[in-house]
Amino acid sequence: MLLSLIIPVYNVEQYIAECIQSVIQQVTADIEVIIVNDGTPDDSISVIEQILGEQTASIRDCFIILNQENQGQSSARNLALKVAKGEYIAFLDSDDVLSENYLNDLKNIITNNDVDIVQFKSSRFEENTNELKEFDVGLQKHGLFQLDENLMIEIFNQSAWFPWLNIYRRKLFEGLEYPVGIYYEDAALIPELFLRAKNIYFLESVLYFYRFNLTGSLLNTSSENKKKHVDSFKSVLNLYALRMKGNPIYSISFVSMSQAFVSYMYQNFGWKAAYKCQATLQANQKDIDARKLSKRGNQLYYYLGFYFVAFLNLRG
């Protein structure tokens, strides 16, 4: 099996048909598509089953549907990773869409190159208008590169830890899994995959269409959800602080996530909460290797802290 495409499904009844159709139109026998029903309360799985029922046996055989009680996207992905047989792993969010060239372009790269990670371009489309906009994440490079220290610093400063932005050699996941029960789980896992990889191939093609969904859980403003955001920031930052002691490149991730955390506190709880949050993060200042910070925003936040965040929020 060449590639395993993992699709967690939860409460996406209005989007899932478009998502699955974008896979069906290009799937081949050397691809397995692992759909994880994360206890979805709507008819998402019924829609999928109806679509698959209309396909030939050869296409249906490419799909696996796993079921679990609702435990979140991380748990769903972990379950799929345990059964995946592909040499490479890809991720597709169930409200997003693949380019019609996605599988063909990626298969060409991984069959002709001994590569650990392949990164490609993406576009964002608005939920209501379907208007495509460039989604400027990842690095502006093309071709095969060794993941030396300089390139790794560029990648970490970019902080584009979207799991769907790349495909990964499956062995990179050995002994790793997504943390369950928090947000920003991608930022906890994906950097570790890059640190295990030896090389990366950058594609200039736009292969993924990301839906900007205003009803997503990350944008929920309930007090319960805000608390989950805060707890998640703390969890990932504690992880980064620990990793930073063994590998200075995590200085970049710690600074970037700290800025995001202080900004979140400023926007949702006011400047006093943000200032207090900044003060608690100062304890890790001594472990940060500022020489790794090449992105202007990371540099300014490192030196100015709360005041840089306040300036950005007041200006915005």
Q: Are residues 129 and 246 in the same domain?
A: no
What count of other Cβ atoms lies within 10 Å of the Cβ of residue 126?
13
Both tokens assigned to 135: 């989604």
Q: Are residues 143 and 49 in the same domain?
A: yes
Q: Are residues 125 and 251 in the same domain?
A: no
| Domain-ending residue, one of 212, 242, 262 | 212
Question: Which of 6, 176, 209, 203 is closest to 90 using CA atoms?
Answer: 6
- Residue 208 has a pLDDT of 96
Collect all residues with Cβ–Cβ distance below 8 Å to 162 and sequence separation of at least 6: 122, 137, 186, 190, 210
- Residue 222 has a pLDDT of 86
Q: Are residues 142 and 124 in the same domain?
A: yes
Q: Are residues 269 and 192 in the same domain?
A: no
Mean pLDDT of the chain: 94
Confidence band for 134, pLDDT divided at 50, 70 and 90: low
Q: Are residues 205 and 60 in the same domain?
A: yes
- For the cut 90, the answer to whether the pLDDT of residue 133 exceeds it is no
First to last CA, the chain: 49
Q: Are residues 102 and 230 in the same domain?
A: no
What count of other Cβ atoms lies within 10 Å of the Cβ of residue 87?
14
Confidence band for 219, pLDDT divided at 50, 70 and 90: low
Counted domains in the chain:
2
| Domain-ending residue, one of 171, 188, 212 | 212
Domain that holds residue 285: 220-315
3-state secondary structure (DSSP) of residue 289: coil
| Domain-ending residue, one of 145, 180, 212 | 212
C-alpha 137/C-alpha 255 separation (Å) is: 18
Q: Are residues 190 and 254 in the same domain?
A: no
Both tokens assigned to 217: 């859980």
- Residue 140 has a pLDDT of 87
For position 70, which CATH number holds?
3.90.550.10
Q: Are residues 172 and 46 in the same domain?
A: yes
Q: How does pLDDT run across 174-211, given as a tens digit for each residue?
A: 999 999 999 999 999 999 999 999 999 999 999 999 99
Q: Give whole-number Cα distances, 147 to 164, 169, 244, in Å.
A: 19, 14, 19
Q: Are residues 135 and 283 in the same domain?
A: no
- For the cut 60, the answer to whether the pLDDT of residue 214 exceeds it is no
- For the cut 70, the answer to whether the pLDDT of residue 128 exceeds it is no
- Residue 130 has a pLDDT of 62
C-alpha 50/C-alpha 276 separation (Å) is: 53
Predicted TM-score (pTM) of this structure: 0.94
Q: Are residues 199 and 224 in the same domain?
A: no
Q: Are residues 52 and 114 in the same domain?
A: yes
Which residue's structure tokens are 């994880």? 36
Both tokens assigned to 60: 């249906």
- Residue 137 has a pLDDT of 80
- Residue 212 has a pLDDT of 79
